[in-house]
């Protein structure tokens, strides 16, 4: 699979990454075998970027059990800040972040993370600085190679402009394009690697059951403007093609609990991209016409 260097880091990441919320939150222990197949299928297919979080249920533990022995084959990113059952005490403190990182290392069965990201805290928490210092202390101690911020809107803008972070993970897709307007240019100018979450908009263009009502409303408004000449019939291809067409995007993370979906997504990225530039331009035009007040879904 094609890879990119993640911003100013030296991490090489596949253009398609694997988001691991679903296997941690939805694949219960009796289906652990399926989760293990998802992880190994992804690595076998050339996906080299795995993205999880301390609060994604059993996700970190599943990664540790399934692919710790393949640690040198992938870039490992997790997030800290949302406490899970293993944490106690006040929210968004340096102590919680430090404790979360220690627990993540233990569950993931590794002695270091490639990337630890603050998990969608508000601008006020970022401005206080305690949680950022906790991340930087972990980096200094060799527990993580790089630090990032995962979030949207004003907090993402603050993170980009702060100069503290190596990467930004943020929402971007055909109905959620605010990052193109407000974030990408400044992030690239500062050398941040850009990781896109929700790149297929939860399949909203196909009115997927997992899509938020907000995304479905936006899809309806954009679709009412008529057919898009040259658009692929495969709606996942349309969504992935749109997201990965933006040069600022280093990797786009797609979650699944189905090994067959992993293979299908890799096939699309490897053999059916890019989609026509005219299709991308038309989707951007529709957003620009309709979406002046469409902020990122958080």
* Closest by Cα among 137, 130, 194, 133 to 160: 194
How far apart are the two ends of the chain, measured CA to CA in Å?
A: 30
Whether the Cβ atoms of residue 145 and residue 115 lie closer than 8 Å to each other: yes
Question: What does the alpha-carbon distance between residue 157 and residue 179 come to, in Å, rounded to a whole number?
Answer: 9
Catalytic residue among 56, 146, 215, 287: 56
CA distances from 238 to 27, 65, 173, 265 (A): 28, 35, 10, 12
* Closest by Cα among 203, 196, 296, 202 to 251: 196
- 56 has catalytic annotation: yes
Give the strand pairing for 16-19 and 144-150. unpaired
* Closest by Cα among 77, 73, 68 to 107: 68
The catalytic residue positions are 56
């Amino acid at each position: 699979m094609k890879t990119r260097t993640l911003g100013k880091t030296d991490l090489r990441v596949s253009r398609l990454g694997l988001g691991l919320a679903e296997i941690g939150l939805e694949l219960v222990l009796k289906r652990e075998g399926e989760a293990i197949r998802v992880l190994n299928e992804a690595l076998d297919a050339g996906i080299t970027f795995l993205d999880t979080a301390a609060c994604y249920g059993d996700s970190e533990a599943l990664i540790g059990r399934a692919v710790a022995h393949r640690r040198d084959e992938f870039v490992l990113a997790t997030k800290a800040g949302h406490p899970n059952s293993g944490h106690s005490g006040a929210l968004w403190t340096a102590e919680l972040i430090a404790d979360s990182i220690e627990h993540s290392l233990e569950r993931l069965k590794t002695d270091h993370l490639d990337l630890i990201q603050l998990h969608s805290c508000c601008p006020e928490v970022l401005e206080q600085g305690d949680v950022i210092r906790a991340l930087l202390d972990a980096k200094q101690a060799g527990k993580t190679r790089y630090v990032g911020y995962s979030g949207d809107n004003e907090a993402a803008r603050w993170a980009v402009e702060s100069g503290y972070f190596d990467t930004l993970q943020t929402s971007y897709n055909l109905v959620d394009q605010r990052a193109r307007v407000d974030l990408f240019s400044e992030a690239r100018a500062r050398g941040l690697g850009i990781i896109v979450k929700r790149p297929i908009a939860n399949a909203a263009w196909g009115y997927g059951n997992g899509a938020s009502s907000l995304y479905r409303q936006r899809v309806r408004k954009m679709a009412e403007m008529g057919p898009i000449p040259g658009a692929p019939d495969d709606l996942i291809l349309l969504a992935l093609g749109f997201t990965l067409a933006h040069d600022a995007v280093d990797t786009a993370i797609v979650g699944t609990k189905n090994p067959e979906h992993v293979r299908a997504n890799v096939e699309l990225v490897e053999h059916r991209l890019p989609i026509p530039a005219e299709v991308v331009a038309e989707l951007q035009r529709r957003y620009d016409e309709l979406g002046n007040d469409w902020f990122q879904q958080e």
